[in-house]
Amino acid sequence: MRIVVVSDIHGNLEALDAVLSDAARNGYDHLVCLGDVVGYGADPQACADKIREVVSKDERGRGMIVRGNHDDAASGGGDEYFNPNARMAVRWTREQLDAETIDWLAQLPMTLVFQELFLVHSSPYRPRDWDYVTTREDALMAFKSFGQQIALIGHSHVPFHVSIGRDLAGLELHAGEHLALDDSRRYLSNVGSIGQPRDGDPRASYVIVDSGIKCIERIRVAYPIDTAAGKIREAGLPEFLADRLLKGR
């Protein structure tokens, strides 16, 4: 089974379209989303409409997508902890969304389990706190907070793979785009961001989890960044949000 995992679209329709086209070429059985469909970018409504259409459904017909902090803020949650650029963008975003979409975002779950995958936007440890996983201690707390073999996260916009033994010993960071899975270990994988990468590579990032050959593959996709950045400027959103798309930071 091949599962496409996307995250942090952030209203970037050009990046989302490019990733969906690339994923279709690669082939997949299911598509899941780790949240932050909106915020920062100039096409929040179009991105919400599209991801609702393409995301896979569970046995009860619910879309396999979890809530991100920008989804939460855009649908009535607090934005007081956002930096000024993010706060301005999320308040603009609220005004672009129709009532049905705001209600949909507000009802998204914080976590989901699909097969042997634990899906969450931020850390599996206290996901409602919107904490990042950036240190060894963060990773250890995350591993203690889910029971599946693999947890998939977003939030930081910086992709990584880290694993640990079943006994919670031997934490290891894995380099490279292709990660072979070992049944004796558990994994925490940040899938990166479609709409606003921050690892120095401006291309959109997503992963495919392949249970057949037991691997996680990270994929980067080029898209018309100038178009997306131009839309941000035309919308009157902060210039910084347009500039960082070009830099990937």
Question: How is residue 164 written in tokens?
Answer: 């640990």
d(C-alpha 135, C-alpha 219), whole Å: 24
> What mean pLDDT comes out for the span 163-175?
90
Phi, psi of 213 (to 5 degrees): -105, 5
Rounded to 5 degrees, φ, ψ at 111 are -140, 155
Question: 232 is written with which tokens?
Answer: 């941000």
How much is the pLDDT for 68? 98
Strands in 204-210's sheet, in edge-to-edge order, are 30-33, 2-6, 204-210, 215-221, 178-180
User: Is the pLDDT reported for residue 182 higher than 90?
Assistant: yes
Is a pLDDT exceeding 90 seen at residue 78? no
**CATH class held by domain 8-208+220-247:** alpha beta
- pLDDT single digits (tens) 19-42: 999 999 999 999 999 999 999 999
pLDDT band at 175 (very low <50, low <70, confident <90, very high): confident
Q: Is 183 a residue whose pLDDT tops 90?
A: yes
